[in-house]
Structure 1
Amino acid sequence: MEEFMKRLVQVQRDIPWLPQAKGRTYIADELPPLERCATAFGLAFEGNRLLLTRLRDRDWNLTGGCIDPGETPEHAAVREVREEASAKVEVIELIGYQELQKFFPKPPDYRWPHPIDCQVYFRCRLIELSPFEPNPKASTARSSNPAKRDVCLRWRDSRRSTKRAYGALRPGNQGQRG
């Protein structure tokens, strides 16, 4: 019988992009409850360089976004990578997730699970990288060495835990976890 692996790698309070919240980042091999999954990200590499997107409203970021109604987290990650970076990918494995616990009342128009939702991260295999066409969500895409500090990620405040996940993702480390 295989053992479920879930390891807490970071706790963050008062997240800059989500005040009055606490984030717990886990490296895991099972999804959190599906009713808590709100967003999905696909981390794909071109050689040893991570594919990123420049979102119009957030600057450089990992490829990913909201899970549509009726969509699985895996399908959302694949779709978001295609929409934001013009890349065709397939999900290889779950890396982990960030659980976000909000300490504010649920606003009437709030579309995410409340008080807890999860952002899910998958390692993906890059199948095809098409020429990028600017779109309503993203102005450009590129691949970058994830260890470099020249890339401004929305998750810059959790750089340590993200680097651990990248370590498990590098092409030579498939199957290993941070």
Structure 2
Amino acid sequence: MHSSIYVDWGGHNVRLTWLPLHEIKDLKQVTSVHGYCFHEGKILQVHIKGRGFNNPGGHVDEGETPQEAFLREAYEEGYVKGTIQYLGAIEVSHEENPKFDSNGKYPLIGYQLYYRMDITECEPFKRENESTTRIWVEPEEIPYIMDDHAIAFHIIEEALQLGRKSSCKIG
């Protein structure tokens, strides 16, 4: 499903398009990594100062792969480790954004990569980074906890389907 929506991010008109399993060739266009982390049928949500509850995620540091960045962010924000599978990318286009700053920190077209994590280790929550708490949420309750756009909720469905496929393998 390639669906697009428009969102207002801080007064900027931005087009978001979900690209399932889309391979990003130029990693300089990856602006952030995010993911749905599953443990015992529930999804991890972390409360980030100033942003409310959301999935673990953040920017890719110099020298990191997107996968390494997501594993780091999941640990820093939720104190969890696990195995990950790539879900796809949200293309973030500023092509129709009259306020776009070509000298700013974001490209005209960038990508937010999404993963599914199956948690294998959950450590005590330490509040050492930007997250203030973590909670475990039933998948159907996510829209009532996380204040986000419609594509983020569609990605949950894809993450859940991937989990069902991987848990039903034969042979």
What TM-score results when the alignment is normalised by the length of structure 2? 0.84
Matching residue of 1:26: 19
| Matched residue, 1:61 | 54
Which of 63, 76, 93 is residue 101 of structure 1 equivalent to? Answer: 93
1:106 partner letter = D
Q: Kindly report which structure 2 residues correspond to 1:43-122, keeping only aligned pairs within 5 A, or say none.
A: 43-91=36-84, 93-102=85-94, 103=97, 104-106=99-101, 108=103, 110-112=104-106, 114-122=107-115
Q: 1:134-172 CA distances to partner (integer Å, 9 max, x unpaired)?
A: 1341000122112115643242433552232233243x3
**Aligned equivalents of 1:95, 1:48: Cα separation in 2:** 18
1:131 deviates by: 0.8
Residue 175 of structure 1: how far off its partner (Å): 7.9
Number of aligned residues: 165
Q: Is the 8 A contact 1:81 1:89 kept in 2?
A: no
Unaligned runs of 5+ in 2: none
| Aligned residues of 1:168 and 1:175 also touching (Cα < 8 A) | no
Q: Which runs of 5+ in 1 are unaligned?
A: 1-6
Q: Take 1:37 and 1:135, find their aligned partners in 2: how far apart are those partners?
A: 26
- Name segments (4+ residues, structure 1) moved above 4 Å: none
CA contact (8 A) 2:143 2:153 kept: no
Q: What is the TM-score normalised by the length of structure 1?
A: 0.81
**1:105 counterpart letter in structure 2:** F
Structure 1 residue 69: deviation in Å?
1.6
Shift of 1:32: 5.1
Please provide the CA RMSD for this pair.
2.4
3-state SS in 2 of match to 1:83: helix
2:161 paired residue number: 168
